[in-house]
Structure 1
């Protein structure tokens, strides 16, 4: 599997295409090394165009993933656009099929958030790069229907998981040190990076505090 720095994981959110691309570029300049292009609701064509612009803006400095749409990732990779994989949910294409389609070099993440879902993901550890687990706390960005995980919950999920765990769900830089102490591999951030006055400085702060909080 490719080596991935999950510490500061940008998930793109609402805003114009120009804003999303600008935030991605700045966050990567600040040290973010993984960007998931997510913008719901959005058509496949619009997601394709947005992902292409993000990928070209950040170049080889970060892994760029497409949310849910394996077809969009495949099409862009076929054209040689630097898109590195996908993040899929529990109702998307099966992870083993995703791996078969995208190949051994692709990055594949899966949404979890409960002990049962992490245990099921362990059966896919040979084809998964990481799991996203959340929500850390309730968030208006995405209603998963799951109970908040909380700090104690992440410790349990990290201990159980056979692959790296990324915390998501209203995560901010203020949480970085405490969450790092649970053993998670990284923090997926949507709103606090998308709305930051200086996304580069925000990413730098998050990574610094995450490193300070690591066990």
Structure 2
């Protein structure tokens, strides 16, 4: 058995650079070439990460769908300069980007993969024993397999809480009780995700290890204020859990 990295508890911010840039309409209108668009998307995302960290977010997952690996690596490099020593930094899906980031000296903590990505056992062999590995589960068969892989994966992403527009292949919504039932079955830290708003955070915080959001921060006009509200709601849920 290896010594795994323990996921930090709290609010878990999953990035969406295209969404973040689109929410800043004036900046988006100034983009005239593909390279400039990507550069602006990276800059705006890192600015948003900085605001989220100031508010108390504990984990940042870099998710950037359908983007060339070079641009994704540029985002990882820029984000690691902001998150190092302040939050854990996770790469979504792209094991190649994680490995390239580490080779480049970036402080990246791990990878989160889905059901249709490379199998966790192969990913573990690639990333090594010291990297954090999260896996998305939602269906009963996913949970059953996760129970057989507790020496391979370090955490489970469970959702969606409700339907979400940020992930086109998201599983059917589970609701609060559905997520809670899976969390009770798994002897691993569980991250709830999928259509989560600030009012959902406190009830979830008493049932799961951390709560992940995308648009609640990525599309916010004031990322610091949005993140701060989420962090405060999580703390409220923790207090409820301690008092129970």
Q: TM-score by structure 1 length?
A: 0.93
Name 1:33's counterpart in structure 2.
58
Alignment partner of 1:150 out of 168, 175, 178? 175
| Counterpart contact for 2:93–2:114, Cα < 8 Å | yes
Matched, 1:22 2:22: no
Gaps of 5+ in 2: 22-40
Name 1:68's counterpart in structure 2.
93
Alignment of 1:174-193 (within 5 A): 174-181=199-206, 183-193=207-217
Name 2:15's counterpart in structure 1.
12
Name 2:218's counterpart in structure 1.
194
| Counterpart contact for 1:30–1:200, Cα < 8 Å | yes
Alignment of 1:51-200 (within 5 A): 51-181=76-206, 183-200=207-224
**CA drift at 1:143:** 2.4
RMSD, aligned α-carbons: 1.5
Gaps of 5+ in 1: none
| Counterpart contact for 1:114–1:133, Cα < 8 Å | no
Sort the Cα spacing of 1:63 and 1:155 in 2 relative to 1 into closer, same or farther, 3 A. Answer: same
Matched, 1:204 2:232: no
Sort the Cα spacing of 1:69 and 1:145 in 2 relative to 1 into closer, same or farther, 3 A. Answer: closer
**CA drift at 1:184:** 0.9
Q: What's the secondary structure of 1:188's corresponding residue?
A: strand
Q: Please list the CA deviations of residues 113-148 of structure 1 after superposition, one character each: whole Å capped at 9, or x if unmatched.
A: 122212211111112111111111101111235210
Structure with the bigger percentage of helix = 2
d(CA) in 2 for partners of 1:213, 1:63 = 21
**CA drift at 1:50:** 1.1
d(CA) in 1 for partners of 2:12, 2:117 = 21
Which aligned runs of 4 or more in structure 1 are off by greater than 4 angstroms?
A: none
| Counterpart contact for 2:7–2:189, Cα < 8 Å | no
Q: What's the secondary structure of 1:60's corresponding residue?
A: coil
Number of residue pairs matched? 214
